[in-house]
């Protein structure tokens, strides 16, 4: 795809949590179906995710502002060379392990 064939849609909006959940659910459904079509203002971009998807996640927490950024990308024929440490996502904060019960800690 050359420069003339490049399609791009950019989107930023403040919305209710329930609206964001609907967008995320639509992305998950589309991923499961193997095709993601993003439409805005009469334009659209049709994406066909590969079997292997690179995920970038960045979180930041400040006194009065929090941020979670997700980016997904893929290339045809991508193969995993090694399995990196997995990331857990949940609504529960992990329990801190005291140093005396076999947990690893720096003193």
80, two tokens: 């995993």
In a domain, 11, yes or no: no
Report the pLDDT value the prediction gives residue 78, as an integer from 0 to 100. Answer: 64
The answer to whether position 6 is within a domain reads: no
Domain that holds residue 40: 17-73
pLDDT 10s per residue in the chain (107 long)?
555 678 899 989 999 999 999 999 999 999 999 999 999 998 999 999 988 899 999 999 999 999 999 999 998 766 666 666 777 777 888 887 655 555 554 44
Q: DSSP per residue over 3-44, as a string?
A: GGG-----------HHHHHHHHHHHHHHHHHT-EEEEETTEE
Asked if residue 56 belongs to a domain, the reply is: yes
**Domain tally, the chain:** 1
- Please name the residues in contact with 87: beta carbons below 8 A apart, sequence gap of 6 or more: 57
pLDDT of residue 96: 74
Query: Considering the domain boundaries, does residue 3 fall inside one?
Result: no
The pLDDT value recorded for residue 67 is 96
**77: region left, alpha or beta (phi > 0 left; psi from -120 to 50 alpha):** left
Report residue 19 as tokens: 């609206």
In a domain, 66, yes or no: yes
Q: Cβ contacts of residue 76 below 8 Å, gap of 6+?
A: 50
Q: Which tokens in the block code for residue 65? A: 């502002």
Tell me what pLDDT residue 106 has.
Answer: 46
* Res 94: pLDDT: 80
Residue 107: its pLDDT value, please?
Answer: 42
pLDDT recorded at residue 92: 84
């Amino acid at each position: 795809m050359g420069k003339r064939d490049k399609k791009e849609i950019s989107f930023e909006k403040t919305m209710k949590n329930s609206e964001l959940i609907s967008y995320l659910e639509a992305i998950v459904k589309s991923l499961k179906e193997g095709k993601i079509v993003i439409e805005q203002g009469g334009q659209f971009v049709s994406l066909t995710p590969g079997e292997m998807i690179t995920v970038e996640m960045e979180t930041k927490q400040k006194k009065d502002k929090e941020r979670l950024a997700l980016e997904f990308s893929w290339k045809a024929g991508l193969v995993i060379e090694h399995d990196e440490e997995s990331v857990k996502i949940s609504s529960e904060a992990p329990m801190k392990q005291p140093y005396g019960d076999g947990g690893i800690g720096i003193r």
